[in-house]
């Protein structure tokens, strides 16, 4: 059995566009300020995808879904994550688990944590944990200028 660990990171600033919706781990947070981005700006799904791609050595999210490609404008990040999962599976890998730390002053994640974990887990086919952290007023994140997510993924490939 072969194991690989990948780390992912993503950050987005809050948007001034009232027509955008805040999406984290595929969950829509009604009434909250959205994040700016080419796709739906789901920082959690993006960080998970980055961790999976990194573990297998398949580049980064931007090389697979560039923000210069109009096909991905407003894209559902869970759909993009599912494409990443399919790609790592074609390489013979499966996800053992994923752990995410979301740094945000708002919104509160705890009331939606289980839903977030279930949505991500259904896409990656493995347990996913999501933890909310605050920046405690430090820097841009502490001033509620955006949200960041760090993700770690453990992948496994059985000996052939």
The CATH number of residue 93's host domain is 3.30.1330.50
| C-alpha dist (Å) from residue 92 to 15, 72, 87, 157 | 39, 26, 9, 6
Q: Can you give the pTM of this predicted structure?
A: 0.95
Q: How many domains does the chain have?
A: 1
Q: How far is it, in rounded angstroms, from Cα 84 to Cα 62?
A: 12
Domain span at residue 26 reads: 2-157
What is the 3-state composition of the chain as percent helix, strand, coil, each rounded to the nearest 5? 35, 30, 40
pLDDT tens digits, the chain, 160 residues: what are they?
999 999 999 999 999 999 999 999 999 999 999 999 999 999 999 999 999 999 999 999 989 988 888 888 888 999 999 999 999 999 999 999 999 999 999 999 999 999 999 999 999 999 999 999 999 999 999 999 999 999 999 999 987 5
Helices (H) and strands (E) in the chain, counts: 5, 6
């Amino acid at each position: 059995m072969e194991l690989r660990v990948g780390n992912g990171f993503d950050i987005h600033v809050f948007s001034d566009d009232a027509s955008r919706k805040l999406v984290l781990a595929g969950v829509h947070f009604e009434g909250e300020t959205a994040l700016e981005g080419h796709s739906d700006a789901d920082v959690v799904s993006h960080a998970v995808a980055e961790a999976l791609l990194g573990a297998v050595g398949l580049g980064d999210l931007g090389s697979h879904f560039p923000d210069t490609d109009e096909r991905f404008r407003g894209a559902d990040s869970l759909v993009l994550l599912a494409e990443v999962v399919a790609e790592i599976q074609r390489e013979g890998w499966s996800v053992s688990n994923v752990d995410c730390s979301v740094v945000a002053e708002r919104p509160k994640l705890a009331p939606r944590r289980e839903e977030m974990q279930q949505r991500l887990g259904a896409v990656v086919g493995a347990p996913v944990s999501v933890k909310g952290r605050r920046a405690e007023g430090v820097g841009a994140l502490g001033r509620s200028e955006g949200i960041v997510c760090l993700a770690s993924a453990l992948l496994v490939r059985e000996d052939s």
